Structure 1
Amino acid sequence: MRVSSVDIYRRTVDSLMAQQSTISDLQLKISAGKKIINSSDDPIGATQASNLRYEISKFNQFIKNADAAKNILEYEDSILDSVVNIYQRIRELAINAGNASLGRDDREAVATEMEERLLELQDLVNAKDANGDYLFSGYKSKVQTVIKAADGQYVFQGDEGNRNVALSNTTSLTILDSGKGVFFNIPTDTVIGTVTSGVATLTNTPSGLVNAGTLTPLASTDLRINDVLIPASELDGISTTDAASSAIAIARAINSKIADHGVHAIVNPNSVDLGAYTPASLVGSQFSINGIAVLDNIGTEDSLLSAINLLTSQTGVIATQPGGAGTAVILTAQDGRNIQLQTSGGATASFANFNLTGAALDEVARSTVTLRSHEAFNIQGAFPSHAGFTAGTYSPSTNAGSGLITKPAIIDNITNLNETYSIVFNNPPSTFSIVADSDPGTPLEGFSNVTYVPGQNIDFLGIRVVITGTPSAGDIFGLEVEAKATQDVFTTINTLITSIRNFGFEPIRYSYEIGQALNNISYAESRLIETRAEVGVRINIADSQKDFNDKLNVLTQSILSEVEDLDYTEAITKLTQNSFILQAAQQSFVKVQGLSIFNYLR
C-alpha cells in the first residue's frame, strides 16, 4: 500500500489536533473544578448528577419551608398566648361578678371591662400574617375570620381548612389552625329550649282477651318512628305471660331511642271488662288472675271484689264495679302489665265475657301505649301492627285561642334533658296545669290549676316562659330543652356580660348564669391548651425535619461531589503528560516535515 506525504501530513495534524482538544478539555475541567462538563463526558454520571442536583434543590426548599413553618407557628403561639391571658382575666372578672356584695355600679364596671376584653379577643382572632392573610380563616385566608352580625351574633366567616406545608416527600405539616375548631366548636354546658303549640298523640289498639302466648313481640325491624329503628322488645319482668309483648315492653323499646326520635311512649292502665257476674263460690283453680288463684267461699259480687283486691299486691290488679251491683266487673292493672286470666272450668260462677263454667281457658289482655310529641311524627316499619300501630304521619293539634308563648329561658340547672313538658289550659282556661309528657296524667307538683295571668313569668324546673294573649280551653303549649353541643367563646363571654348587667336581682338565675359561663370558659381554655400543645409539637417537628433535611442535603452534596467534582492531582498530571506528548509530537512533526528524498539525491 502506498502512503503519500499528504496522508502522513493529514494524519499527523489530526493527531495533534486531538491531543490539543484533550488538553483544552482538561484545562476547562481544571478551570471549572468539574470532571463532567458535557453529558458526553460521562452520560451515566451526568444523569446521576442531574438527579442529585434535583434532590438538593428539594432539600433546600424543604429547609426553607421548615423555617417558614416555624416562624408562622411561633407567631400563632404568641397570639394564642395572648388569648390565654384574656380567658384568665375573663374568669377572674366572672368570679368577682359572682360576689353577692357587688352593687349595680360594680357589676357594670365588670361588664364594661369584659366588653373591652371581648373586643381585644376579636382583634386577636382576626390577626394577619406578614402577607396580609388572616391566620385563623382556613383556606379563606383573605376573608376576615370573625364578625359581629347585626343581630349581635358572632359569625365565623372562614372555613375548616388547615393550611399545610411540605417538609419532605412524605411529611406535610399543618402551619395554621382554623378558628372554627379553636374558638367556635367548643363543648358547652349550655342548655337551650324550644316551644311549640299543640300536641300530636297516637294510642295503639288494645289486644282484648286472646289466647295466652299468641301476642307477637316487637322484632327489631317491625317499627320505625321518625325513621329511627326501634329495637326488639324484651321481657318486662312483671307480666306473667307474653311479657315481651306487653305495653310496658313496647314502651320501653320505644323510649330507649327517645333521644333520636323525640317521641314519648306512655303506658296506659290495662283494663279488662269481665261483664256481668253470676255469683257463686270459687274454689281451687276455677279462676286465676296473673297466676294467682282467686278463692271466694261466700259467692257474692262483693265477696268476689274483696277476694280479688286482697290479692292486688301479688297480681297488680284491682277489681271495681263502676255501674254498681249487677253491672260489669272491671279489672285494672294501673302499671299497664298484661292481665292473664285462667280457669280450669267447671265453676258455677261465671262472667259474661269470661266463661268459668265450660272448658279450661288461658287468656291474656295487653294494655295500650300512647305516643306523644309536640311535633309531627311518622310511623313506619315492617310490621308496626305488632305494636298495635298503623303506619302514617301524625300531626299536632291546633290551639284555638290567641295565646302566644315566648322562647324558654333557662334559669337554673335542668335535671332531665330527655323530658318534654306541656302547659295545658283547663276548662275554663283561667287556669292551667303543667305536665311532663312522659306522664301527662299527673301535673307537676305545685303546677295543677295555676291561675293564668297574661305576661307573668311561669317558672318551673329551671325553665321560664311567658304566655300572653287569650288561650282557649284545651290549648297546649309544648316545651323542650336540650343540651347545646358546642358554642363559640364569643357567645359565652357576650352572654356573661348580658347576665351580669341584667340578672343581678335574681340570685338563683344569676348564680346559674355565672356558673355556666365559668364552665364554658374552662372548656374554651382546655381547647386552647390542646391547640397550643399541638402547635408546640409542630414546632418541634419543623426543627427536627429541618435538621434531617440539612443532613440529607450535606450527604447528597457529598455524593454529587464524588460524581462530578474534579480530582485536581489526577487532572494536572494528565494535563502535564498530554502537554509533554503534544510538545514532543509537534517537534517531531517539524523535523519529519523537513525530510525529503531529494535531500539525499543532492
Structure 2
Amino acid sequence: MRVSTSQFYLQSAQNMAARNTDVHKQATYIDSGKRVLTAKDDAVSYSSLAGYKEGINQISQYTRNITLSTGSNQQTETAFEVTQDVLLNVKSRFIQANNGSLSDDDRQSLATQMKQYLEQVLDIANSKDETGGFIFSGHQIDKQPFALQADRSVIYQGDSGINQLAISNSVVVNMNQSGDEAFVKIANAVGDFSPEYNTNNGSATVTRAVVADRGSYDVATFPPGYTLDFTDADNNGQLEVVVTDSAANPVSTIDPFVPGQPFTFNGVEVTIEGTPEVGDQFGLGEDEDVSIFETLKAAIEWLETDSTAANTSQHQIDYGHILSQINSAASHISAQQGIMGVNLQLIVSQESQHLDTNLSLEKGRSSIEDLDFYQAATTLEQSKVALEAAQLTFSKIQGLSLLNYI
C-alpha cells in the first residue's frame, strides 16, 4: 500500500484539528460552567432544558409582578388603616360634642378639628404611589381623584377601573381600589333613602327605609323622592301617613300608623320610631350610598349649629343619623382594609408556591446543564494529551525519508 506525502499531511492536519477542537470544546464547557450548550451536545437533554428554563423565566416574571402587587396592596392597606384611625378620632370628637355643658366656642373648636379630619381623609384619598400615579383614581392614575368644593362637598373625578396583575398561570390580583368604591359607595345607615325632616314637631326618627321588594318598586309610575305627611283625617286620634311621590302623585295611605312598626308602599319598607304629630312631614330621598366626605361635611355643619338651633330635638335626631353614618363609614373602611389583607395573603401564598416550584425547576435544570468540573478537567487534560501526542507524532514522522532506512 502506498501512502503519499499529501495524504499523510492531510490526515495529520485533520487529526490535530480534531484534537484541538476537543480541547477548545472542553475549555468552553469549563468557562461556561455548563455541560449542555447546544442541541449538538445532547439533543434530548437540550430539549428538556428548554422546558425547565421557560418555567424558570415565567416564575421570574410572576415574581416581579408579585413585588409590584405587594407594594401596591400594602400602600392601599396602609391608607385604609390611617383612614380608620382618623374615623376613630372623628367619632370620639363627635360623641364629645354631644354634651350639653359645652359652650358654643367649644363646639366651634371641635368643628375646626373636624375640618382638619376632612382634609386628612382627602389627602389620603389623593395619595400617590412611588411612580407619581394616584392610587385611588381607578384607571385614570394621572388625574387627582377627589376635589374639594367651596361648600365643603367633595366630588370624585376618577373612574371605577381596577388594575390587575397575573401572579401565576391562573391567579390575578388587584393592584388598587377605585376611589368611588373606597370612599364614596358607603352604605346608607338608614337603608336606600335618606330622611329629610321638613316638619318634625313630634321628634320622630326614620330608622329604616329600604327597597324591600325590587319587583314592586315602580319608579316610572311613582318616581322618588317621597313625601310622608302625618294626618288624622278621621279625627279618631290615630295617625295616618299619606305618601306622595316627587310629582305629588298619591302613592299610598298607611292607616293607622303604628310607631316602630314597619309599613310598605311601592315596594319600599319604612320604620319610624317615636310618635310624630299631625302636620309633621318627612321626605325620603333615594340615597343608597353616602360618601365619607358627605358624612364629615354633615358632622361639621352639625357642630357649627350652636345651641340656638331652632329645633333642639331635631338637632339630636340629626346627631343620631350622623353618628350612625360615621359607624357605617368605619365599618366600610375596615372591610376595604380587609380586602387588601386578603390580597396580600393570596400574594404571600402564591409567592411561597413559586419558591417551591422554582427550586424544583432549578434542580432539574442543574441536573442537565451544570458541569461536573472534576470530570470536565479530567477530560480536558486527556484532550490536551491527545493533541500533544498528535503534534509530536506529526513532527517526528514528517522528518523521515527512505534514506533513514538505507
TM-score by length of 1: 0.53
Gaps of 5+ in 2: 197-212, 230-238, 258-276
**After superposition, what is the alpha-carbon deviation per residue over 1:107-139, rounded to whole angstroms, capped at 9, x for unaligned?**
322222211111111111111111111121111
Q: 1:174 offset after TM fit, Å?
A: 1.5
Q: How does 1:79-478 map to 2 (within 5 A)?
A: 79-150=79-150, 152-189=152-189, 191-192=193-194, 258-261=216-219, 263=221, 420-421=243-244, 437-439=251-253, 463=281
Deviation of residue 436 (structure 1)? Answer: 6.6
Post-superposition offset of 1:78: 2.2
Maintained 8 Å contact 1:189/1:519? yes
- Report the 3-state secondary structure (helix = DSSP H, G, I; strand = E; otherwise coil) of the residue aligned with 1:187: coil
Deviation (angstroms), 1:15: 1.3
* Deviations, residues 382-431 of structure 1 (Å, cap 9, x unaligned): xxxxxxxxxxxxxxxxxxxxxxxxx9799xxxxx9x962389xxxxxxxx
Letter in 2 for 1:587: L
Q: 1:542, 1:571 → 2: CA distance?
A: 42
d(CA) in 1 for partners of 2:175, 2:133 = 13
The structure carrying a bigger strand percent of its residues is 1
Matched residue of 1:41: which SS? Answer: coil
Taking the aligned partners of 2:19 and 2:75, their CA distance within structure 1 comes to: 64
Distance of 2:256 and 2:387 partners within structure 1: 120
Residue number in structure 2 paired with 1:555: 360
Which residue does the alignment assign to 1:66?
Answer: 66
Contact 2:129–2:135 at 8 Å: present in 1 too?
A: yes
Secondary structure of the residue aligned to 1:497 is: helix
* Cα distance between partner residues in 1 of 2:368 and 2:126: 52
Aligned 1:486-501 pairs, distance under 5 A: 486-501=289-304
Number of equivalent positions: 357
How many angstroms does 1:178 deviate by? 1.3
Aligned amino acid, residue 438 of structure 1:
S
Q: Is 537-546 or 20-29 further displaced after alignment?
A: 537-546
Residues in 1 aligned to 2:36 and 2:215: alpha-carbon distance in whole angstroms: 77
Unaligned stretches of 5+ in structure 1? 195-254, 264-372, 376-406, 411-415, 424-433, 445-458, 465-479
Q: Which amino acid aligns with 1:510?
A: H
- Residues 594, 443 of structure 1: alpha-carbon distance in 2 compared, 3 angstrom cutoff: closer
Aligned residue for 2:160, secondary structure, equals coil
Q: Does the 8 Å contact 1:192/1:409 carry over to 2?
A: no
Say which of 314, 320, 323 aligns to 1:518: 323
Q: Which amino acid aligns with 1:63?
A: T
Q: Distance in 1 between matches of 2:72 and 2:223?
A: 52
* 2:379 paired with 1:574: yes
Q: 1:409 to 1:497 in 2, by over 3 A?
A: farther
CA distance in 1, matches of 2:383, 2:249: 112
Aligned to 1:528: 333
Comparing 483-492 and 566-575, the one that deviates more: 566-575
Report the residue type matching 1:95 in the other structure.
Answer: I
C-alpha change, 1:14 and 1:518, in structure 2 (3 Å) is same
CA contact (8 A) 1:23 1:578 kept: yes
Question: Quick one: structure 1 residues 550 and 422, their matched pair in 2 at CA, closer, same or farther if it must change by over 3 Å?
Answer: closer
In structure 2, give the amino acid aligned to 1:497.
Answer: I
Cα offsets for 1:433-462 (capped at 9, x unmatched): x9974249x999xxxxxxxxxxxxxx8676
1:21 and 2:21 aligned: yes
| Aligned counterparts of 1:26 and 1:591: Cα–Cα separation in 2 | 27
Aligned match of 1:485: 288
Report the Cα distance in structure 1 between the residues aligned to 2:214 and 2:16, rounded to whole angstroms.
102
Residue deviations 1:6-64 (CA, integer Å, cap 9, x gap): 21331122112111111121122122222234443334444443443343233233323
Q: CA deviation at 1:260?
A: 2.2
Q: Is the 8 A contact 1:188 1:519 kept in 2?
A: no
Alignment-mate amino acid for residue 335 of structure 2: E
Q: Which has the larger radius of gyration?
A: 1
Q: Does 1:9 align with 2:18?
A: no
SS, match of residue 176 in structure 1: coil
Conserved in 1, the CA contact under 8 Å of 2:97 and 2:110? yes
CA distance in 2, matches of 1:578, 1:183: 74
How far apart, CA to CA, are the structure 1 residues paired with 2:214 and 2:61? 58
For residues 177 and 592 of structure 1, the distance between their equivalents in structure 2, rounded to whole angstroms, comes to: 84
1:540 matches 2:358: no
* Cα distance, 1:188 vs structure 2: 0.5
The 2-side partners of 1:5 and 1:182 are apart by 91
Q: In the aligned structure 2, how far is the partner of 1:61 from the partner of 1:374?
A: 53
| CA distance 1:57–1:489, change in 2 (3 Å) | same
C-alpha distance in structure 1 between counterparts of 2:57 and 2:216, whole Å:
61
The AA in structure 2 aligned to 1:6 is S
Distance 1:142 1:439 in 2: 52
Q: Quick one: higher RCO (CA 8 Å, sep 6+), 1 or 2?
A: 2
Q: Which position in structure 2 is the counterpart of 1:583?
A: 388
Q: Could you tell me whether the CA contact under 8 Å between 1:500 and 1:510 is conserved in 2?
A: no
Q: CA deviation at 1:575?
A: 2.1
The amino acid of 2:252's aligned partner reads S
Per the alignment, in what secondary structure is the counterpart of residue 174 of structure 2?
Answer: strand
**What's the CA shift for 1:516?**
0.7
What residue number does 2:202 align with? Answer: none
Could you say if the C-alpha distance between residues 138 and 261 of structure 1 is closer, same or farther in structure 2, counting changes exceeding 3 Å? closer
- C-alpha spacing 1:262/1:461, structure 2 compared with 1 (3 Å): farther
Note the C-alpha offset of 1:166.
2.6
Whole-angstrom CA distance in 2 between matches of 1:14 and 1:421: 107
Kindly indicate which of the two structures has a greater share of residues assigned to helix: 2
Residues 193 and 408, structure 1, Cα contact 8 Å, conserved in 2:
no
TM-score using structure 2 length: 0.76
Report the Cα distance in structure 2 between the residues aligned to 1:460 and 1:562, rounded to whole angstroms: 90
CA 592–461 in structure 1, closer or farther in 2 if over 3 Å, else same: farther
